[in-house]
Chain A
Amino acid sequence: MIAWRSTWSIYKRELLRFLRTAFQSVLAPVLTTTLYFIVFGAAIGGRMPDLGGVGYGAFIIPGLLMLTLLGETTSNSSFGIYMPRFTGTIYELLSAPVGVAETLIGFVGAAMTKSLILAAIILATARFFVDYSIAYPLLAVLYIMLVAAAFSLFGFILGIWADNFEKLGIIPMLFLTPLTFLGGTFYSIDMLPAPWDMIALANPIVYLVSGLRWTFYGSSDVDIWVSFGITLAFLAACIAVIAYIFKTGWRLRA
């Protein structure tokens, strides 16, 4: 049985931590996304042909959203659990009558909430630069939540794995961001010459960007259900890893 009061306490505290650093947490990604829209949307986008019947400025919105979503969700969640480990305050969580469910719903739920707020702000910001419409808004929200949940869990694992700040930043910086850039954020996989169009399919982020783009415009590089399937598989894998971590106490309990 889940202790909902404990869960709510963790969730609320994490959100308050987010508000404490709201300037950095919200403004930085909004500013970065704005810069992308100015450079790729307004400056370069005007000279680019439509892609799949969608203007270039609108085409990059799902990719930019995914770029921010993956980075922020992963870092929010990883910091959320790493900082208590680093400062020693994790003792309180470990000694409380809370288990894996309360911890995950609290930490991951808060990271997801932050990401959804960010996604809404980014979409509102995009409206200032390009005109776009979302073909399947409910599916888009569902997909964003799914990706946010999966990468919150991934960040949680990262925060438990890392034993210093360098490790905490290395995965988002060296893997996540490059893979997102190469994952069709700014282009369609179809535009790549052979064999790169095939090699690109080995990049898991391609499926995420493509999935979100499908919910926006009804077409994308990869079938929407393949994207959903891969996202769900990643989510399940993360849950399995976290269940193992809690079962063995790896890096949590001495």
Chain B
Amino acid sequence: MEPILELSGLTKVYPGGLKALDDVDLTIRKGEIFALLGPNGAGKTTLIGAVCGLVRPSGGTIRAFGHDLASDWRKARARIGLVPQELSTDMFEPVKRAVSYSRGLFGLPPDPARIEEILRSLSLWEKRDERIMALSGGMKRRVLIAKALAHEPDLLFLDEPTAGVDVELRKGMWAIIDQMRARGVTIILTTHYIEEAEEMADRVGVIRNGQIIAVDEKDALMAKLGRTEAHIALAESMQTLPPAIAQFPVEIEQDGMSLCYRGGDGTGRGKAEVADLTKALTHAGIDYVGIETRESSLEDIFVSLLGEEAQ
């Protein structure tokens, strides 16, 4: 797919020596939802800031829509939207005026019909004349999204879009992101909620200490790094594994009263192997009283990736 954003060797060293971005190479494809995951201080917001003009890169290049952001920033920025992590907006301003201002700031002519459409899609139309300070936290975040959409960007950065938002609103926000994707907007989101990335993203990138340590299709990443875990409760204690069972990736646990299987690759191979294991147990005359299986989530993969890198 056509690249919409290309980061090459992007580096940011803050005064004081903190290296927030360390030679980052990343390509974002048109129309995708890309989730950038990473612990606090990993460099997610710095990366967004570098693309959006809030942070001055120390090295590397950024190309958006084929324009070099260092020399041709006006054309590129006109097509990029940003929803910041903090609820930063003029709280005294009425909703509609704030959104209209954002459109004008990006050089577009007034378009009341378009503003109405955006506000309606975010369930803000009824609140259009209210001051932003009078809105709830979730509504304020929607206003920030409306402001970012006012100039009809092709690439939208959502920095922790559901931070501090309750479960119901979070799901509402996912629906909004889905609508944007349907309109063809490319979305890069950072999040602490792995569930969010799992739900929304086409591709996932993991950043740690300013370095991208993994980038892949979400499904491919889960297939590559995913695992199946099964706990088989035995009817009688077992101290050693018979050869027929030892060929599986199993361990004895709970003083021989349980077997733990860890294997597979996230494609479902693990489940099939657990079925084979149970057949082998029956064939070997080993009785069991319960089986509990679970597939590893993106969160498990994320945690294990960070753990491996730390080592």
- A202 on interface, CB distance cutoff 8 Å: no
A98 to B105, CA, bound (A): 8
How many residue pairs link A and B with beta carbons under 8 A? The number is: 75
- CB–CB B52/A95 < 8 A: yes
- B87-145 with Cβ < 8 A to chain A: 88-92, 97, 101-102, 104-109
- Asked whether, in the complex, the Cβ of B86 is within 8 Å of the Cβ of A96, the reply is no
Which of A5, A89, A94, A96 is B109 in contact with, Cβ under 8 Å? A5
Distance between Cα atoms of A207 and B16 in the complex (Å): 43
Complexed CA–CA distance, A3 and B106 (Å): 9
Asked if B53 is an interface residue, CB under 8 A from chain A, the answer is yes
Q: How far is the CB of B21 from chain A (nearest CB, A)?
A: 12
Q: Is B55 an interface residue (CB 8 A)?
A: yes
- A88 part of interface (Cβ distance < 8 Å): yes
B28 CB → nearest A CB, Å: 17
Contacts of A95 in B (CB 8 A): 52-54, 77, 80, 82
Q: Determine if B84 and A88 form an interchain contact, defined as CB atoms under 8 angstroms apart.
A: yes
- Which of B54, B91, B104, B147 lies in contact with A6, CB distance below 8 A? B104
Which residues of chain A have C-beta atoms less than 8 A from B75's C-beta?
A: 97
Asked if A91 CB lies within 8 Å of chain B CBs, one says yes
CB of A61, distance to nearest CB on chain B (Å): 35
Contact of B102 among A92, A97, A253 (CB under 8 A): A92
Tell me, yes or no, whether A181 is within 8 Å of chain B by CB. no
Is there contact, CB below 8 Å, between B107 and A254? no
Chain A residues contacting B90 (CB-CB under 8 Å) are 17, 87, 89
Bound Cα distance from A89 to B98, whole angstroms: 11
* Interface size band for B: 20 to 34
Q: Is A92 touching B147 in the complex (CB atoms < 8 A)?
A: yes
The answer to whether A127 has its CB under 8 Å from any CB of chain B is: no
What A residues does B97 contact at CB under 8 A?
Answer: 16
Interface centre among B54, B91, B97, B147 (most CB of A within 10 A): B54
For chain A, the bracket of interface size reads 20 to 34
* Complexed CA–CA distance, A12 and B104 (Å): 10
Inter-chain contacts of B82 with A (CB < 8 A): 91-92, 95
Q: Is B174 an interface residue (CB 8 A)?
A: no
Select B101's contact among A9, A91, A254, beta carbons within 8 Å: A9
CB pair A96 B14 closer than 8 Å? no
Contact between chains at A96 and B88 (CB < 8 Å) = no
- Output the least CB separation between A217 and chain B (Å): 43
Decide: A9 and B56 in contact? CB cutoff 8 A.
no
Inter-chain contacts of B73 with A (CB < 8 A): 97
Query: What's the Cα separation between A9 and B109 when bound, in Å?
Result: 10
A139 to chain B, nearest CB (A): 35
Which of A10, A16, A92, A253 gathers the greatest number of chain B CB atoms within 10 Å? A92
- Within the complex, which residue of A8, A9, A16, A97 is in contact with B74, where a contact is CB–CB below 8 Å? A97
Complex: A89 Cα to B105 Cα, angstroms: 13
Instruction: Give complex CA distance A149, B265 in Å.
Output: 67
How far does the Cβ of A124 sit from chain B's closest Cβ, in whole Å? 29
In the A-B complex, list the 7 residue pairs whose CB atoms are closest, starting with the nearest: A9-B104, A88-B88, A95-B52, A97-B74, A97-B77, A97-B78, A3-B107
Interface residues of B (CB under 8 A from A): 14, 46, 49, 52-56, 73-75, 77-78, 80, 82, 84, 86, 88-92, 97, 101-102, 104-109, 147
19 contacts between A and B (CB under 8 A): A3-B107, A6-B107, A17-B90, A87-B88, A87-B90, A89-B89, A91-B52, A91-B84, A92-B82, A93-B105, A94-B54, A95-B52, A95-B53, A97-B78, A99-B74, A254-B14, A254-B49, A254-B54, A254-B56
